């Protein structure tokens, strides 16, 4: 019923490793403080949303079909780079420290900026002329 494709799984693994290493590197540059805006997580999530919008639009609308680009770039790199689970943990820590306004603002800004990033990336990718 379902075929196993080891190369597709390998593409997800390699892409995920690249994305995760990029995120971990940025997180090392700045420590977390529940009383402050968690810039590393916010930035990687917005960048990841932008890249996902770009990759999906480019891969589906501009390039020939490939079995491995989408798993490598979309699922792998963007999945490893973004960290919405960390965003949730940071939000809970803000709430536990009585930083309700910061928690609500962070959550709302993350969702809004992520959706805007996908929209902008998709629109920009579609505006680029296709060379023939």
Nearest residue to 103 (alpha-carbon basis) of 43, 35, 32, 30: 35
Instruction: Give the 3-state secondary structure of residue 46.
Output: helix
Binned at pLDDT 50, 70 and 90, residue 51 comes out as very high
Q: 7-49 pLDDT, tens per residue? A: 888 888 898 899 888 888 877 776 667 778 998 889 999 999 9
Binned at pLDDT 50, 70 and 90, residue 118 comes out as very high
Query: In angstroms, rounded to a whole number, what is the distance separating the alpha carbons of residues 86 and 102?
Result: 15
Written as one string, the DSSP assignment of 13-44 is: HHHHHHHHHHHHHHHHHS---TTS--HHHHHH
Can you give the pTM of this predicted structure? 0.82
């Amino acid at each position: 019923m379902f075929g196993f494709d080891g190369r597709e799984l390998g593409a997800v693994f390699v892409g995920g490793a690249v994305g995760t290493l990029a995120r971990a590197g940025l997180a090392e540059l700045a420590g977390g403080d529940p009383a402050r805006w968690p810039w590393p997580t916010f930035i990687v999530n917005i960048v990841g949303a932008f890249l996902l919008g770009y990759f999906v639009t480019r891969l589906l609308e501009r390039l020939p079909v490939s079995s491995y680009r989408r798993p490598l770039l979309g699922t792998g790199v963007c999945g490893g780079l973004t960290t919405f689970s960390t965003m949730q943990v940071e939000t809970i820590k803000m709430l536990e420290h009585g930083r309700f306004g910061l928690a609500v603002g962070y959550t709302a800004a993350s969702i809004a900026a992520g959706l805007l990033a996908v929209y902008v990336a998709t629109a920009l990718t579609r505006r680029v002329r296709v060379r023939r």
